[in-house]
Amino acid sequence: MRESGMTDPLPAQLSAFIQTHGIRVDPDFSLHSSGVHSVVNCVFSAQARFEVVVLPLLARLNDRLPDVPGLSFQAFVDDVDSLGVQAYAKEVLCNRQQLSGRLKVEVARDAAAFFVRHGVQTVGDFRLLDDETAETLVLVELVQEVRGIGPTLAHYLLWLMGREDHVKVDSLLTRLFARLGDWQPRMGHDADRIRITASIRTVAAELGTTPARLDNALWQFESRPKGSK
């Protein structure tokens, strides 16, 4: 336990870990052009291998609904509704994975409908919101209204949609931090998530990058096969 008033050693430990392992921010890091692809990425990344599952799925979606800034959430809702969630999962996305007992495509569809109800049709609309409004909308209201979207995915969605000061504290990131010092972070524990996020923000500022980009670099490192680390 850290004593009250003491400087948290975690940022220094993270910085040393990054230096030791030569971790670098991906120079090709980029965000999706549309809010629709951001939402689908967010939902389908839960408990799934990104390169094997999510990237091919996004490519299939792109064939039907191209990832362009003007792609609206309503267009995605209408497209899913035209077939129904069962058929869309099977025939379009070729993925019947579930989240909180629901097909992931249903969770993504409901998240898109949520944004429509709140007057947000595109990623451009979302980026016009001030930070407090955007964070309340996603971290509080979306989490409350759409079953399957929890705090971890909500933070990930914020940075996918352009708020790069947010961090996705998922199982891989938690596992990486468990190797720093003598601390054992708990997945889904708010205080531990906040501590990890604060550490990444501190080190990202020192490195002249954003928390989201450093998060991505750490995630890429932790995703590698054990022998390549």
- Domain identity same for 60 and 79: yes
Distance (Å, rounded) from C-alpha 214 to C-alpha 79?
35
As for how many domains the chain has, the answer is 2
Task: Answer yes or no: is pLDDT of 138 > 80.
Answer: yes
User: Across residues 147-167, what is the average pLDDT?
Assistant: 95
- Domain identity same for 171 and 121: no
User: Across residues 224-229, what is the average pLDDT?
Assistant: 70
Portion of the chain with pLDDT greater than 70, in percent: 97
- Domain identity same for 44 and 88: yes
At 1-39, the pLDDT tens digits run 444 457 899 999 999 999 999 999 998 899 999 999 999
Confidence of residue 224 (pLDDT cuts 50, 70, 90): confident
**Quick check: is 177 in a domain?**
yes
In sign, the C-alpha dihedral spanning 107, 113, 119, 125 is positive
User: Across residues 167-174, what is the average pLDDT?
Assistant: 92
Work out the mean pLDDT of the chain and round it to a whole number. Answer: 94
User: Across residues 114-134, what is the average pLDDT?
Assistant: 97
pTM higher than 0.85: yes
- Domain identity same for 17 and 57: no
**Quick check: is 94 in a domain?**
yes
User: Can you give the pLDDT at residue 227?
Assistant: 63
**Quick check: is 212 in a domain?**
yes
User: Can you give the pLDDT at residue 1?
Assistant: 44
User: Can you give the pLDDT at residue 122?
Assistant: 98
User: Across residues 196-200, what is the average pLDDT?
Assistant: 96
Confidence of residue 114 (pLDDT cuts 50, 70, 90): very high
Who wins on pLDDT, 224 or 139?
Answer: 139
Closest CA to 112 of 60, 35, 52: 35
Confidence of residue 187 (pLDDT cuts 50, 70, 90): confident
User: Can you give the pLDDT at residue 189?
Assistant: 87
- Domain identity same for 172 and 217: yes
Quickly tell me which residue has 């003007």 as its tokens: 70
**Quick check: is 138 in a domain?**
no
User: Can you give the pLDDT at residue 3?
Assistant: 46
Please give the sequence-ordered ranges of beta strands (E in DSSP) within 6-149, or none if there are none.
Answer: 98-99, 102-103
Q: Among 77, 107, 130, where does a domain finish?
A: 130
Q: Which domain holds residue 112?
A: 35-130
- Domain identity same for 21 and 42: no
- Domain identity same for 23 and 51: no
User: Can you give the pLDDT at residue 188?
Assistant: 81
- Domain identity same for 183 and 208: yes
What six digits make up the tokens of 53? Answer: 């599952």
The per-residue DSSP string of 133-202 comes to: HHHIIIIIIIHHHSTT--HHHHHHHHHHTT-TT-----HHHHHHHTTSTT----TT-HHHHHHHHHHHHH
